[in-house]
Structure 1
């Protein structure tokens, strides 16, 4: 053994024979022995086969300094002591004070120089207060220990000869512009050592996104518009983890994949059409709608349903749907298959009815009934016994004589632009009865004097095919042969009232008879004629009076004469002639009135005579 080697041996014996119990007071042995540790997965990094070799001129075999020197040389340091003072374990921290601190790191050397005489290799940093080390103990065994920072067992320092820290050389990249709903496949970047395991944390505007801890990430609507970045932590056994963060990029809104809208419904006027969105990816939260007819948007038609209007008949209907979903751009799609609008249905909800009594010549009026659609126009066709009557197409109908004993009905056809034309028929009436001939009461015109010819006015013939028969009546009794419209008054009629009975007849109608009001009685016409002779000396006036009657012999009668301003004197005439003398008449001009009262057969008569008695 060389002098140096002998000196080292003495140093090592002194260092390693020094108790280290205080340094191990707060520790737990995880394994012990090369084989036992290997079986449990705790490596010795090959020292079991290299322990007979001296590293950094340390003593070979089972001792702490040779084992730590071996690990550092294995990590790339030269097999040369970094300083001459790096020999006895208790001196390492003092000799390497410039790289010794209180912060553990994987690959650093745990050093006890104030509270013990020992070095160990830091394998794992569990937390700032817990580390795992591997060590080879003088006159002991190889082991792994867990050391916690409690009590007095924590290392006096950590020497950072060649810490094994994973360092990022090229930042992670997101690779593509982030967009809501599109999966990202980022690059972890480059590290001083590749082939590591990686942990990931995606952040938005610098805040960690809960659950976003895998390499692949699909931005959700909640991060739209925010700055997205990826923090990558590289890990590798025997190295301290390294962390690097990508450049941030704003998350763009997602793109919705539209479905194919369809339209359900018959497509008839007044029957609703329903828009179906189809399958959109992802599913939008809301849809807005715009219905169009013949390519033009319909004002106000912005709901999931649209009811075609009458003016839409025969035109094509489509619907455009615009989706909305938080974090996504609005997307529109239009139904590709237009629906051609069919005419609307019109149904009768209450059958037509007929107002009026079914009789020949009577007016029947059609009522159209009730229908499912308003603002309809109506056409009419009258039917008799179920057969259409030519030309009977108005709202009213008068049964003809040919219709008697047969029922009448009416067929109403409802029509409106944009709708199907539909008909409904009323229930039939009772059998058509005889009609009542319309007539006004007859009236007698003209004089009823003996020899005159009065006439009967039968009024207007309201049924053209009707016939009229007249019968003159004398005091209500038919006058034989008096059946003309005119009747000449005879002596047989004198003193009696005349009337006329008129009878109308027509096919299909009940015979109708009306009698005029009676006129008269019929009389012969009388006339008084008087002449005067005045005698002034005696103050008397003598009158010769005549009473002729047209068509009759002059009658004997009583006549009254009255002087104006004086009294009345009655006298008789015989066979239409007589005289009367008035005495004590005043001198001067006087007016005398002669009056005949008449009889039941002769009219009354009156005349005036003026005469003067000279003074």
Structure 2
């Protein structure tokens, strides 16, 4: 049989079986009036470890001070060598009341009867080993002893005193007539608490905390745990670790640790109360995310995220470059012009009972882009590109934004003309409202146009360039003169001595072409001279510095018609002039 070693004061070697038998024979000869009536050696198996205060002390077994205290009556038992007085002394010494816990007979056989509610068959250190009358080696008064050690479930070591006998230690094995009829648990010896159980962490809702169950002598075979909140048991909270719930918020926790070891009374220790359970920390399972177009007139949308545990409320605030956008607390944000070039974020605040508010900031968007100006109707440019005429703008419609500003800049050859009616000597230029333009001298030969600028803060400025379909032209002015010239001379007639008079008639055609807005006019001129008989002479001549001189010869006398046609250029339009001239006979 495997046996656990006794405590230090029980470490003296056991007496030999022969010595034990001799002691048994001597003990059996003694009849105790009140105490133990011993059984015969043939029917009881026991091993005495020591007998007598001195011998036991020398062998390392303590009498617990009874050598001196035995002169006093304990629980109103007879003093001196007496089993009941000794065990009563040990009960009081262990912390039990000094008053006998029952009335009536104090004989040993009556102990288990009067204390039946705390009597069972389980041996524990500090328990009373109880024998009925004539049980085992007990006499008619029964017997009680003090359990010093529980070696196993079938072997114990007891200390005892005997009426008319002496103090001793002995080993008792189960299955023999010496095994007690029961064990009375008045005040069993608990385990020694070497290190008290503690809870050191600050408790918070949803966060695991752990109790240190402590250490014991002897080491505990089993430790059970029960958590309490505000002094009330938390059902099911029986593990070393525990996560406080919302029900424990603001309450102080404690733990009751029950340590057990074979042969010892269970030891129950309560930890100190913790501080009140604080608010827990929400775990963000899915971060809030902003989606949509970061552009004026666009819409941004944020999710609110998910949390553990699930939360009861979520609030949203929007920020532009970290500055709160006042009044924006919904999932959607309409992007307005004042947000251009800022980065947008959303802050989601999740709350639920007994948890700290969890504030989560989304990733920022790209810089907000300007909005797009939309036209509901296009602008147009109409009019003839001829000096003195007007060009007019057909107004369009700005569909969005409706408060955009529209300005007009007239262009001459692709650059700003800068002309207005009030500053132009010829009255040309833009009207006061800039919606029309009177073409003047400076515009001749240029392509005219207008730049329409539509602007609004927070939007990309939109420009519309409209150009005339042709360059600005001017009308020519023709200055036409036709001068006749007649010359005569006398010549000999060939082969004779006669003479004759030769007459030559011609017209000198002079043409000058000018045009408003042009310093000189170039180009070709067609001159048609129609004689009286209808015959025509036609010549096409290029102007030189806006002028030409053309003699038309071999003309008959009479009225001649001169038609001059200026053929025009891309800038100066075609023009004509007509005159008649009379060519004399001589």
Q: Answer whether TM exceeds 0.5 for this pair.
A: no
- Select the structure that is richer in strand: 2
> Between Structure 1 and Structure 2, whose CA radius of gyration is higher?
1
User: Relative contact order (alpha carbons < 8 A, sep ≥ 6): 1 or 2 greater?
Assistant: 2
